[in-house]
Amino acid sequence: MTRPRRVVVAVSGASGSRYAQRLLDFCAGDGRGRIEPHLVFTRIGRMCWADEVGSDPLAYGFPIYQNQDLGAIFSSGSARFDGMVVLPCSAGQLARIAHGVSTDLVNRAADVMLKERRRLVLVLRESPYSLIHVRNMAACIEAGAVVMPASPSFYSRPKGIDQLLDTVVARVLDQLGIDNDLVPRWTGRTSPDPKDVT
């Protein structure tokens, strides 16, 4: 039997904790047995979770690590972790990752993913972008990370906030190599609209 994909899920200090909640809902439900999340929150990330979600993340039963625990299992490249997502990723967190500042577990884990050439997905929650943000995004992409702004899509006609959040979470799972059917896939139009033919 194939082992589940072990993934670090980091929640940093930006609005958007509901995205992380929906990811963990998937892991606890349809994704059980396929993905094994290991969680770490920054201090502000826990504050944002409390404000936006309210529930205790311990209720999921997934391992949670202190952000100052630089001895955590995924702080070493020898640990068999398949990837990491920072969801949401603050502009400050992006900057620290872009410049290899490993002062806490989130930074160190991201550094490990980059040096080991493993998948690192940064779901940036910031708007508008400054030139500093854009340069930091470029540095992360050049180092091998995937930078995904938290930009929901509407072609699946989401009927509520959870379905709207899932349009981003589904793309995160895709980037981590985890099959999912959270939202309908675009299949194209079966035939062109006659009004569009010239």
User: What is the reported pLDDT for 188?
Assistant: 82
Q: Domains in the chain and their CATH numbers?
A: 5-196 (3.40.50.1950)
Most confident of 2-6, 168-172, 189-193: 168-172
* Nearest residue to 76 via CA among 116, 119, 36, 35: 116
48 vs 102: CA distance, rounded Å: 22
Q: Is the pLDDT of residue 65 over 90?
A: yes
pLDDT tens per residue across span 72-92: 999 999 998 999 999 999 999
Q: Is the pLDDT of residue 185 over 90?
A: no
User: What is the reported pLDDT for 191?
Assistant: 66
User: What is the reported pLDDT for 45?
Assistant: 97
Per-residue tokens: 137: 């995004």
Q: How many CA atoms lie within 13 A of 82 on its CB side?
A: 14
User: Model pTM greater than 0.75?
Assistant: yes
